[in-house]
């Protein structure tokens, strides 16, 4: 399946997918200086550099992202550390074909970029990672795969984030394979 990956940060999930042999045909970013964008350049993966300042609205930026992914024949969009919310027309353009990885056991700590900090602050003993289908309802689309990660007494944000990342690197590939099987089944039926 042809994957289009959206990144804003370090890009460890992107790197993990590429190293595991997933067919990443395009990478889009709103932060051209991020680690994920640097990785795409290094590997020669087509990179859509879509800084918000180049556009007058989020809708306009997302229309450019949609066109970029369509031009590369993307079949599944993977939000791997994207720090913005897709606008409605983008979600509709790839309806049921966008997945997101989130660093908590959703529905806990939904909706922000500080789920790891929140887990430590609230004192939960268990948190984790979730991959879900993206709908227009932020972080609330159908859950595909989750993995629990215990919060240890001595954890810092960095140490907990590191173990959550390890979990993400296991469950994002599983979720993509699940989507691949589902989409193949629905196209065979339809
Ligand atoms: C991950 O923790 C993901 O859950 C969150 O952003 C982070 C991205 O990490 N949405 P990386 O850029 O893939 O290393």
Is residue 174 within 8 A of residue 145, CB to CB? The reply is: yes
- Provide the pLDDT for residue 73: 98
- What's this model's pTM, rounded to 2 decimal places? 0.95
- Provide the pLDDT for residue 137: 83
- Provide the pLDDT for residue 169: 98
pLDDT digits (tens, 9 = 90+) for 132-160: 999 988 788 999 999 999 999 999 999 99
Distance of CA 168 from the midpoint of ligand 1 (Å):
8
Q: Whose CA is nearest to atom 1 of ligand 1?
A: 81
Which parts of the chain sit beneath pLDDT 50?
none
Is 177 touching ligand 1 by the criterion CB < 6 Å?
Answer: no
Is residue 110 within 8 A of residue 140, CB to CB? The reply is: yes
Is residue 134 within 8 A of residue 79, CB to CB? The reply is: yes
- Provide the pLDDT for residue 131: 98
Distance of CA 189 from the midpoint of ligand 1 (Å):
34
- Report the distance separating Cα 34 and Cα 108, nearest Å: 27
Q: Using CB atoms within 10 A of its CB, is residue 2 exposed (0-12), middle (13-18) or buried (19+)?
A: middle
- Report the distance separating Cα 165 and Cα 4, nearest Å: 20
Best residue for ligand 1 mutational test, from 31, 35, 100, 168 (most atoms within 8 Å of Cβ): 168
């Amino acid at each position: 399946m042809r994957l289009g990956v959206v990144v804003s940060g370090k890009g460890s999930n992107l790197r993990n997918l590429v190293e595991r042999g997933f067919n990443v045909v395009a990478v889009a970013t709103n932060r051209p200086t991020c680690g994920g964008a640097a990785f795409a350049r290094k590997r020669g993966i087509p990179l859509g550099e879509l800084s918000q300042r180049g556009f007058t609205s989020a809708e306009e930026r997302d229309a450019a992202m949609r066109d970029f992914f369509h031009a590369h024949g993307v079949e599944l969009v993977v939000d791997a550390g994207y720090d913005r919310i897709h606008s409605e027309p983008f979600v509709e353009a790839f309806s049921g074909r966008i997945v997101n990885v989130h660093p908590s056991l959703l529905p806990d700590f939904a909706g922000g970029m500080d789920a790891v900090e929140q887990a430590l602050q609230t004192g939960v003993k268990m948190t984790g990672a979730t991959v879900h289908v993206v709908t227009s309802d932020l972080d609330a689309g159908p859950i595909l795969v989750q993995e629990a990660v215990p919060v240890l007494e001595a954890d810092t944000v960095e140490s907990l984030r590191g173990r959550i990342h390890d979990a993400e690197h296991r469950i994002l590939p599983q979720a993509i394979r699940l989507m691949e099987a589902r989409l193949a089944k629905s196209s065979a039926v339809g």
